[in-house]
Amino acid sequence: MIYSIEKIAKILEGKVIGNGSIKINMLSKIEDGSNGSLCFLANNKYEEFLYTTQASAVIVSSNFNIDYSRTSTNLIIVDDAYQGFATILKIFSKSKNNIEGINKHSCIEECAIIGKKCFVGSNAYIGKNVVIGDNVKIYPNCYIGENTLIGDNTILYAGVKIYDHTKIGKNCIIQSGAIIGGDGFGFAQNEENEYTKVVQIGNVIVEDNVEIGANTTIDRATMGSTIIHQGVKLDNLIQIAHNVEIGKHTVIAAQSGIAGSTKIGENCMIGGQVGIIGHLKIGDNVKIAAQSGIQSDINDNEIVQGSPAFSITDYKRSYVYFKQLPSLNSLVNKIEKEVINMLRK
């Protein structure tokens, strides 16, 4: 995909400093810029690369203090360079996914309904009574179980598995290897410590504008639905258990796990490797630091850290003392010896 610098600036509502007619055909990091590439600068840490990059253009925030005497590349000045570059990334990504057609090696049941301008790759399977919206892209080796609904403009990358009765909204992105709708981890223990499987008969609902990372798993509900609400972003390698509900625009980083029937509010930020036990209620606008263990409910707007987690302010204060434990232990041992010696005298 090729754009002029001037056209990119128009898309971003920015201003060109330099030659706007130069063509851009790829995107790059600022330190790896080359002729024909576009990059961005949003962090002072990388400022020196602005003056040495070989990129044809750099997107820069308007509040950035630029030494124009040292620049040799073209600039696109915008309000927010990071957001601007994200917009261009999205446009370039859409061009890569601008494909249509059904591969002859795919398998689509006769009663499935496929919308307009869709793509179905090699070895993909689409089951009975599946309804797929317009402009959906289904890459090779995907499996879509019967009675599943997929909304317009959603992308399923290679190897995605979607079990029966799942509902996926519009404009979703599901990365390779994700599994949606598998059995929840439900077993009943008897007096002999044997386990009987509890059959999971619910489903998964994924609303609009959700992104699900590679190898993330979302289990179907025992009864009812596991629900991922609008705008949620899930990183790679996340486990969402049966009957979990995640509120709008919450983001969760990699390797986190949420146990069954926990409800997470809207606009939460959950760091990597966080573990949340089942049947909890996490409020809106909550932030949970990486590697925290959540064992009790959390109220709206709280920020927590630790395992078990508690207020991040108290955690940081406690950590100051924790780091001093070796020296405090040495001091206690020294005092103990002195007291013993005094008593002996």
Contact residues for 211 (Cβ-Cβ < 8 A; gap 6+)? 172, 173, 174, 175, 232, 233, 234
Domain boundary among 78, 96, 114: 96
Q: Do residue 45 and residue 166 come from a single domain?
A: no
Q: Do residue 208 and residue 300 come from a single domain?
A: yes
User: Taking a C-beta distance cutoff of 8 angstroms, is the pair 143, 122 a contact?
Assistant: no
**pLDDT score at 74:** 96
Helical axes 312-323 vs 325-344, angle rounded to 10°: 50
Q: Do residue 33 and residue 163 come from a single domain?
A: no
The pTM of the full predicted model, rounded to 2 decimals, is 0.85
Q: Do residue 89 and residue 110 come from a single domain?
A: no
pLDDT digits (tens, 9 = 90+) for 77-117: 999 999 999 999 988 877 778 899 999 999 999 999 999 99
**pLDDT score at 307:** 93
Q: State the burial class of residue 326 (Cβ atoms within 10 Å of its Cβ: 0-12, 13-18, 19+).
A: exposed
Q: Do residue 82 and residue 117 come from a single domain?
A: no
Which residue is catalytic, options 105, 242, 249, 279?
Answer: 242
Q: Do residue 169 and residue 199 come from a single domain?
A: yes
**pLDDT score at 214:** 98
Q: Do residue 150 and residue 173 come from a single domain?
A: yes
Which CATH number do you get for residue 146? Answer: 2.160.10.10
Active site residue 242: yes
Q: Low-confidence residues of the chain, pLDDT below 70?
A: none
**pLDDT score at 172:** 98
Domain around 122: 101-314
pLDDT digits (tens, 9 = 90+) for 305-345: 999 999 999 998 888 888 888 888 888 888 988 888 888 87
**pLDDT score at 343:** 83
**pLDDT score at 338:** 86
Which CATH number do you get for residue 32? Answer: 3.40.1390.10
**pLDDT score at 341:** 86
Residue 14 token pair? 């920015």
Residue 197 token pair? 């499987």
Q: Do residue 81 and residue 154 come from a single domain?
A: no
Q: Do residue 153 and residue 83 come from a single domain?
A: no
Q: Do residue 30 and residue 139 come from a single domain?
A: no
Q: State the burial class of residue 42 (Cβ atoms within 10 Å of its Cβ: 0-12, 13-18, 19+).
A: middle
Q: State the burial class of residue 296 (Cβ atoms within 10 Å of its Cβ: 0-12, 13-18, 19+).
A: exposed
C-alpha separations of 257 from 235, 252, 260, 272, 293 in Å: 11, 10, 10, 9, 10
